[in-house]
Amino acid sequence: MSLAALSSGCIYRINIQQGNFLDQAAVNQVQPGMTRSQVRYLLGTPMVADSFNKEQWDYIYYLKKGRTGHLDTRRVTVYFESDKVARLDKPSDAVAAQQAASAAEMKNGRTY
């Protein structure tokens, strides 16, 4: 019986989720001149703390659906000068909308 289950390809693969899930509305609220605490309030604690560059925070999100291998990745980088936001590298609104639609499909169970 176990041989039949193995041969049918019924292997459960878990979803792998890592990092900070970032809402595009929160990312859009980050503006130059904001303090580190204001950014942390909006986006949370950064996923990667660079010990060599204290003036950069990286927010990375990774989700791999187990069964299909569908991959969703996002990255936002905040650059500081004198403890204030100098600039922000983020996905464009069009890319963010596409990523949000992909995440909604996965959440609703249409992409396994």
Delineate the domains of the chain, giving CATH numbers in brackets.
Answer: 13-107 (3.30.1450)
Going by pLDDT thresholds of 50, 70 and 90, the confidence category of residue 104 is low
What pTM was estimated for this model as a whole? 0.70
Q: Can you tell me which residue has the tokens 């596409």? A: 98
β-strand pairing of 71-81 with 84-89: antiparallel
Structure tokens at 95: 């890319």
Q: Mean pLDDT over residues 47-59, rounded?
A: 84
Which residues have C-beta within 8 Å of that of residue 60, sequence separation ≥ 6? 18, 19, 20, 47, 48, 73, 74, 75
